[in-house]
Each structure stands twice: as C-alpha cells, then as structure tokens.
Amino acid sequence: MSYPKKLLRLRPTKGIASDTPAHELGPNHYSIGSNVLFRSGFAQRILGSRAVYGTLPVDPVLHMLNARVDTTNFWLFFGADEVHALETSNSDEVTPSGGLTAVPQPWQYASTLLSGIPVFTNGFEKPQYWAGNVATPFVDLPDWPIGTICKSIAAYKNFLVALDIDGASGHFESQIKWSDAAEPGAVPASWTPAPDNLAGDAILSDTPGPALMGLPLRGSLMLYKRSSTYAMDFIGGNDVFSIQTLFTSSGALTRHAACDVNGQHFVVTDGDIILTDGTNRRSVGQARMREFLFNQLDQDNYENLFSIYHRAKGEVWACFPESGSQYCTLALVYDVANDSFGVRELPDVACAAVGIVNDSDQDESWAAATYTWASATQLWNRQNFSFATESLLLGYDGTAEMQDTDDAVTVGASVGRYDLHFDEPERVKFVKRVHIRAKPGYGTLLVRVGARMTPTADITWSTERTLTEPEQIVNVFAQGRYISVGVRSTGSAVWTLTGIDLEAELRGYF
C-alpha cells in the first residue's frame, strides 16, 4: 500500500518556549534545549570561555565591578570581607582599613559608578568609595550619617541615592536618601539636608516592602520594590526630586533583577519577565519561559537571581539558582533583537559584570622594560585596554570567566522539538528520514526521533544516529500521531542549525 508522503520543514527562529505544550507550539519555536543560543534567529551551541586574571585573590568571588580610572582599566573583585583591584597582572587589596563584615550572600552587595568613581555597600557598613589609587583603600562616603547603613545604592546624574535605610531612628525599608550634588570627578560632600545643598530623603510609603534597587532609565531613576515601581526625576527647587508611582503590581524580584537594555529595562518580576520603558510594560516570558524559571527557582536562595545585559551580543542573561543550589546554575539568555530565549548551564555562578578585559596586556612600566631606548616603539601613557574587547565575565569560586571566546571548550548541548503533528493530529505518521541543515563546522551531531499516540504518553525514541560532517541526512524511524526530534552534541565544535526537515508517510487514523 502506498501512503501519502509529507515533508515537514522546521525553521524555528524565536528560540525555546518551554511553557506552552509542545503540540500547541507554532513553527517558530523549539520546545526544549540546553546550552543553546538563538543569534540571528538560528539555534547555536554556546561559544567557548576562558578564565581571566588567573586565580583571583578572593574565593569565592561574590561581586565584580569594572571601572576606568584615568587611563587605567581596573576590575574590582569583592569577596566575603575583602576587595581587590586588578589591572593586567597586578593585584592590590583595597579593602577599607577598618575591615568589612563578612557577607554571606552575593545579593547583599550593591555597587555603582558615579562619574567613574566606584561606590559600594554591603548592607553592614557605611557605603564606601574608591579614588582609584591602589595605595589607598576604599573609604566612607563623606558626611554619611553616623550609625546608619543602606542596603542598596545607585548613581543618578551627579547624585548618589541610597535605598532601604537602617539608622539610629530604626529600620525604614521604604526610605531612600539622596546626597547633595557632586562636583565633576568627585563624590558628594554632604548627605545632611541644609538650605545650601540638595540632599534629602523620602519614604515610598504607598506600597509595601523594601526599596530594593535603583536604575537610571531615560533621564529618570527607576526605583524598584518587590511589587511596585517608582520614577524619580530631578526638578530642582525646594523639592529637588519628584517621585511618582508607576506600577503598583510590578516591581523587581531581587536587588539585581533588572538591567538597562537600550532605553528599556529588562526585569524579572515577582512572577514574570518583562521589558518596560517606564510607561509601558510587555511580558517577554509569558507562554515561553516564565514557568520554566519560577518552577525551578530555589526558594531559599532566590535573592541571588540577577539580570545582566551583554551589550556586545545584544543579549540579557537572567541567571538563577535551581532548586537545591545556592548560586546560579542556569541562565535564560534573551536575544533582544530577535525576541528569543536560549538556555545555558552555569557553574554555580555568584555574580557577573560587563567590562574591558585586559589581563593579557603587556606590562609597560619602566621597571619591566627589557628593550633599549633606541628600539622602543611603545607609546608613553597609553591606555592598558581597548574598547573593542568589552566582555561578559562570570564570577564563581576563585575564577572570573570570560564568555563567548574562540577557545575550544567541550560542552554538552541539545535542542529539540516535541509533538509535531504535521497539521493532522488525528493521523499516524511514520518518519523514516531526517535532514539536518547546519552551517559548516558542526563536527559530529547525534540525532534521534520519537513518537507517541497522545501528548501525555511516554515518547518512544529511535536509536540515536551519528551525523558526521559533511553528512546531512540520517535514516531514523518512528511511528505515532505526535513526532519529536532531538539534536545534541558532546564535543567542542560550535554548531549552528538553520533547520530540520522530516520526511514522513501519513498513515491511518487508528
């Protein structure tokens, strides 16, 4: 008996959508994947990575900040109770002279740059700043109120804004304080409100919960609580700032759950993943990765979740600890331009930062010179970095790891689409061949197909077949109403799938 033939061409360009039942997904999504991204609309295995700056002087590293001071590029690495500044191969401890209370969790650190000056708080000591001289450690902000701490801090225009204030009068989690305006290249001289300065404070009292974080957006400072969002705008005069409630049912889940993305904020809220421009908000997680994230998020360590924008790639990484983990073990990677999600595994990451990596730059100090004066080709006072090398660093244990390098790294990666019904869910299909469309350089892939009669039954998988470049077609067999296909790799080749074709016979209705 001859059965009608059908060729199903899969060209998913919108990434992974795990929340929607696979048999209800449209043709633009994969239903499952691991260690895959969706750059230019195609599924791609994650690139390589390498450790930078050697073994870090802090272990574990809990927080990182990149800062440019004059012509020197520094990375600041924060441990539980110490801070070190690294540039090229040089490392100097810049911990405040009075020491720091040991911080048990990464989320308790908050840092910012005011006109390039690093400022941080750990929620235990007064907020600190560093002038950029490795011989001088971090010191207290001038005129910070005695006996007072803040849990978060943000730079806004030429002000510093402290959030969640605990002082001599008690703990006011909804209180914010702002400094006097700072002179260019300096930190504010005063936090004490007076007729001759702009310092002040406010209570965000109309919604519950602590003021978690502040993040600039289009001329405003967005202030996030767990379930609400405020906009803070400079207006001058006696009021100095105008503070308006924007959303009363949407805020940030953690102190590091939001990041700026080209004039919008990507925010992991208490139950969703959104993009907002301060006026409108749009869910990017609904029906795709929202349930995937919150069903796996560890309930004891959820505050270690953070979002960071990898500017060089146009991607946001929402990193979170899975159930049973303290640090981040998984990341949703959102491609902004293509509105698509990928998924990648993480090695118990505590923090991340974006900046210039210059760990392999040559030491140009006078003491290190081995060349003669006549043969010298170096430029005096040159910068020790290039703006072309901005990278994303992940911090874990005593390691800072640069992402998306050309280093050959063995990574297990997979992508799949389950429960394809060929637009005829009532009919049985017999799949006998799969054509994998991939860009050159894919190396060796492992391909299988599976089938089941209903979406709730177990999938019966075929034997996994090896596809070795330049081969593109594998003969695999599966029969059922709902057809699944999976592709994975275990080697170091970075592959890019442009599509999958399945050849099938449409059989009866039994």
pLDDT category of residue 237 using cuts at 50, 70 and 90: confident
- pTM higher than the cut 0.75: yes
Q: What is the pLDDT of residues 388-402, one digit of tens each?
A: 568 999 999 999 999
Q: What confidence score (pLDDT) does residue 380 get?
A: 45
Confidence check: pLDDT of 387 > 70: no
DSSP letter string over 99-160?
--PPP-SGGG-EEEEETTEEEEE-SSS--EE--S-TTS--EEPTTPPTT-EEEEEEEETTEE
The candidate with the shortest Cα–Cα distance to 9, out of 497, 480, 459, 509, is 497
Query: Is residue 145 a contact partner of residue 165, using CB atoms and an 8 Å limit?
Result: no
What gap in Å lies between CA 372 and CA 375, rounded to an integer?
A: 5
SS (H, E, C) 237-296: CCCEEEEEEEECCCCCCCCCCEEEECCEEEEECCCCEEEECCCCEEECCCCCCHHHHHHH
pLDDT of residue 27: 87
As a whole-number percent, the residues of the chain with pLDDT over 70 amount to: 94
pLDDT above 90 (res 308): yes
CA distance 453 to 338: 34
- Residue 195 is predicted with a pLDDT of 92
pLDDT score for 360: 64
Contact 19, 295 (CB under 8 A): no
Nearest to 350 by CA among 53, 164, 78, 124: 78
pLDDT at 383 over 80: no
For residue 388, what pLDDT is reported? 54
DSSP symbol at 219: T
> Residue 376 pLDDT more than 80?
no
Phi and psi (nearest 5°) for 207? Answer: -135, 150
Mean pLDDT of the chain: 92
Contact call for residues 205 and 248 (beta carbons, < 8 A): no
Residue 312 one-letter amino acid = A
pLDDT of residue 381: 42
Amino acid in the structure at residue 417: R
Determine the average pLDDT of the residues in 254-273: 97
Lowest-confidence range among 1-5, 209-213, 466-470? 1-5
pLDDT tens digits for 118-148? 999 999 999 999 999 999 999 999 999 999 9
Query: What's the confidence (pLDDT) of residue 368?
Result: 47
User: Under a CB-based contact definition with an 8 Å cutoff, are residues 166 and 152 in contact?
Assistant: no
pLDDT the model gives residue 390: 82
Looking at residue 40, its pLDDT comes to 84
pLDDT score of 288 more than 70: yes
Q: What is the pLDDT of residue 74?
A: 95
Q: Is the pLDDT of residue 33 over 80?
A: yes
- Across the range 408-431, mean pLDDT stands at 95
Residue 389: its pLDDT value, please?
64
In the chain, what are the domains? 5-46+410-506 (2.60.120), 49-359+393-405 (2.120.10.80)
Helices (H), ranges, 332-431: none
Structural element, H or E, at residue 39: strand 36-39
